[in-house]
Structure 1
Amino acid sequence: MRAILAIDQGTTNSKAVLVSETGEVLARGSAGVGISYPQSGWVEQDPRRIFASVCEAIETCLNKASEVTVEAVGVSNQRESVTVWDAETGEALGPVLSWQCRRTAPDCERLIAEGHLDRVEALTGLPLDPMFPGSKFRWLLDRVPAGRRVHLGTIDSWLIHCLTGGGRHVCDASNAARSQLLDLNGQVWSEELGQIFGVDIAMLPEVLDSSADFGTTRGLPGIADGTPIRSAIGDSHAALFGHGAFKPGDGKVTFGTGSSVMTTLPRFIAPQNGITTTVAWRIAGVPTFAFE
């Protein structure tokens, strides 16, 4: 039987699901991730453990299904959590700074005092808050050993790097939109935002549509080398799409480690009153926007 392998890398667990061509769930697997709290307000994870948990979830899932051929892989992931790795060796060079982490609160306060808040919100749809990755990327870079050429990324980009055996440095538009370095209107990494946060945007992954060619698997136990990875999307965005919220005004509420209320928009609308604006997904080069 032919099937798609769906991977959902969450804050506390990684999950794998085999889905048949008719939409039937054939098997499931999951594995815990683990979270560390080095000091008050600091929340981090081990990027190597995150990928290991994905492999464990896949193995459990495959062991529950017989005579299944995995035709393609799709990835959804926890958002706003970021990490750094060596661009040449693939070695993890820091922890994953969780979306829950508040360690860069002083940096955000400094950027607000310098008058950057309105501009950052206008470009990214996101406020200057340590939940979002702009300041986290800088924190990670400040602790990388000198002389290393590095890649920065959201969790989808780290997983795709691992799934392809280091072959690709890419992410999807929905995850890029939560990085605080993407110009939502232009759909490109912003040099201006890079200067504000002190991040060289050349270190960031190539931004692809949410349905795209993300490369092929290599060295993934139980999955044939060359299996295409054809989708990547932030988990909350995946829920909006999965519920069929395609018309402006359609919405969903999801509950997990965090909760998300998201509503599809007809176009980019600047955030207001505590709401953020984001790319819900991007297909054939056309972004769909949402309030969250």
Structure 2
Amino acid sequence: MTSYICAIDQGTTGTTVIILDDTLEVVGRVNEEFEQIFPKPSWVEHDPEAIWRSTCSTIKAAVAQAGVRPEEIVAVGITNQRETTVVWDGKTGEAIHNAIVWQDRRTRGRIQQFADDGNEPMVRERSGLILDPYFSGTKIEWILDHVSGARRRAQKGELKFGTIDSFLLWRLTGGKVHATDVSNASRTLLMNLHTGEWDEDLLELFRVPRAMLPEIVGNAEVYGHVEGIEGLADGTPICGMAGDQQSALFGQVCYRPGEAKCTYGTGAFLLMNTGDKPVMSRHRLLSTAAWKIDGKMTYALEGSAFIAGALVQWLRDGLGFFETAAEIEELAGQVESSDGVVLIPSLAGLGAPHWNPGARGVIWGLTRGTTRAHIARAALEAIALQNVDLLKAMEHDLGEELKVLRVDGGASANGLLMQLQADFLNREIVRPKMTDTTALGAALLAGLGAGIFSDFNAISETWKEDARFKPAMSQQRRNMHLELWEEGLKRV
């Protein structure tokens, strides 16, 4: 009898559930968006109940679309937007505040205080991260300080903290399991990267009570069982879990040190497997846990650009350039170049390797001849050029050049963007047949946890290439774009 896996991909703008059979063929896929909440400039929130409703409805719809019986689904995997912070009541399960999203910048002043007090070297050595509002630590502190009575209740163990994986696991198990996987824990500023455990000094620094934290677990093991979820049978094991970017690295079968992928979602995230030891970057990249399987930790270097697909959404929704995001490829293709227009997409600050949380977006080089097409092309160029900065820093840290970069995520379907990426990086870009590799990674981890897949080799055989993009731009033109990009960065 065929076995099926349910992969929940809870992302920044919506939730996707994919149902796969044991040969990894997709038999059901449903996506549902939910509201983005912007209470103040640079603040970004989600309603945790909206996240939960979208999760339940997409599970139900995807199972129905797949035409499978709930009892035929033998494993559930979860992958999620990372760093986004939820604090909820341990008895009722109700959140005490909206989720504070990874893009949120409200704790920028607090981060600066920590830096001014000389804390960054310790934080970096312990966690592998840098001081930035991006991560969960100061988001938790903010909620505890701004919701009446929250800090006292957290210290008494009445409140629970979790990134979205932990929140969903709690809800899916009927409030029986409070756990987070090592990849998500490594994004909180609170986990010791070397031990894989919560670090008492970091907890004290960020004023986070130990009593509210989940247990840190591996990425492919049984955490708990489904209870009361329409579309899934009670008792179905939840046995795979990872933050979205680590999940995509796993789904791209980057299992050997030096293999790398870039996911184009709301942001762009370039991760490289560094093996069983963390590499501490000299260029302000992040050292992070990739996964922990059978007790063995694998690490990665990561460079994060906060705005990628979100830039296309902004052109669509904020400026009305087109009706659907896919139309940007045709619009940008109407011109041969951006004609000197440079767009710096720092709409939520600048991520790695610049880490400028106060940066604002810039469109530079406009003339009377500039059209929507030029700005659209400059936007695609910006998404690709951000990754040049990341890859250069990564290669310097490792002391070797990357030969091939695997790509995935929604924007990887944009052929013009992928060609620009190959041209600017001067590296081959390889796109797999299944670009939902974030969800695929969760499914593979769940399959490992449930014993459907025996080992990494069995999984690697399933990966299939769809397209390969080779550099075609002259060095002179490439240098011109890179120089204009550098000039634009000075203007944020």
In structure 1, give the amino acid aligned to 2:17.
Answer: A
> What's the counterpart of residue 298 of structure 2?
288
The answer to whether the 8 Å contact 1:30/1:60 transfers is: no
The answer to whether the 8 Å contact 2:64/2:231 transfers is: no
Displacement of 1:70 after TM fit?
1.1
> What's the counterpart of residue 32 of structure 2?
31
The answer to whether the 8 Å contact 1:5/1:16 transfers is: yes
How many pairs are equivalent?
A: 292
Secondary structure, counterpart of 1:112 in structure 2: helix
> What's the counterpart of residue 156 of structure 1?
165
Structure of higher CA gyration radius: 2
- 2:244 is the counterpart of 1:235: yes
Displacement of 1:245 after TM fit?
0.6
- In structure 2, the gaps of 5 or more residues are 303-492
In structure 2, give the amino acid aligned to 1:164.
Answer: T
Q: Distance in 2 between matches of 1:67 and 1:244?
A: 27
Displacement of 1:145 after TM fit?
3.7
Identity of aligned residues (%): 39
Q: How does 1:13-162 map to 2 (within 5 A)?
A: 13-68=14-69, 69-146=72-149, 148=153, 149-162=158-171
Q: Distance in 2 between matches of 1:145 and 1:91?
A: 15
Secondary structure, counterpart of 1:186 in structure 2: coil
> What's the counterpart of residue 350 of structure 2?
none
Q: Distance in 1 between matches of 2:167 and 2:3?
A: 27
> What's the counterpart of residue 258 of structure 1?
267
Q: Deviations over 1:102-141 (max 9, x none)?
A: 0000110011111101100111111110011111110111
Instruction: Choose the corresponding residue for 2:209, options 195, 200, 208.
Output: 200
Q: Deviations over 1:176-226 (max 9, x none)?
A: 001110000011101100011010122110000011121001111121111
- 2:6 is the counterpart of 1:5: yes
In structure 1, give the amino acid aligned to 2:269.
Answer: S
Which of the two has greater strand per residue? 1
> What's the counterpart of residue 216 of structure 1?
225
Structure-2 change in CA distance of 1:214 and 1:268 (3 Å): same
Q: Distance in 2 between matches of 1:125 and 1:67?
A: 43
Q: Distance in 2 between matches of 1:252 and 1:131?
A: 21
Displacement of 1:23 after TM fit?
1.3
Displacement of 1:60 after TM fit?
1.5
Q: Distance in 1 between matches of 2:66 and 2:256?
A: 36
In structure 2, give the amino acid aligned to 1:236.
Answer: Q
The answer to whether the 8 Å contact 1:163/1:217 transfers is: yes
Secondary structure, counterpart of 1:16 in structure 2: strand
> What's the counterpart of residue 278 of structure 1?
288
Secondary structure, counterpart of 1:142 in structure 2: helix
The answer to whether the 8 Å contact 1:9/1:54 transfers is: yes
Secondary structure, counterpart of 2:298 in structure 1: strand
Secondary structure, counterpart of 2:113 in structure 1: helix
Q: Distance in 2 between matches of 1:151 and 1:67?
A: 35
Displacement of 1:21 after TM fit?
1.0
Secondary structure, counterpart of 1:265 in structure 2: strand
Q: Distance in 2 between matches of 1:216 and 1:117?
A: 40
The answer to whether the 8 Å contact 1:243/1:252 transfers is: yes
Answer with 269-278 or 139-148: which moved more.
Answer: 139-148
In structure 1, give the amino acid aligned to 2:301.
Answer: F
Secondary structure, counterpart of 2:78 in structure 1: strand
> What's the counterpart of residue 402 of structure 2?
none
Q: Deviations over 1:126-180 (max 9, x none)?
A: 1110011111110111234425310011110001011111111001000000111
Q: Distance in 1 between matches of 2:185 and 2:37?
A: 25
Q: Distance in 2 between matches of 1:67 and 1:182?
A: 40
Q: Distance in 2 between matches of 1:244 and 1:36?
A: 35
Which of the two has greater helix per residue? 2
The answer to whether the 8 Å contact 1:126/1:271 transfers is: no
Over the aligned positions, Cα root-mean-square deviation in angstroms equals: 1.1
Q: Distance in 1 between matches of 2:43 and 2:51?
A: 18
Secondary structure, counterpart of 2:224 in structure 1: coil
In structure 2, give the amino acid aligned to 1:136.
Answer: K
In structure 1, give the amino acid aligned to 2:193.
Answer: L
In structure 1, give the amino acid aligned to 2:296.
Answer: V
TM-score (norm: length of structure 1): 0.98
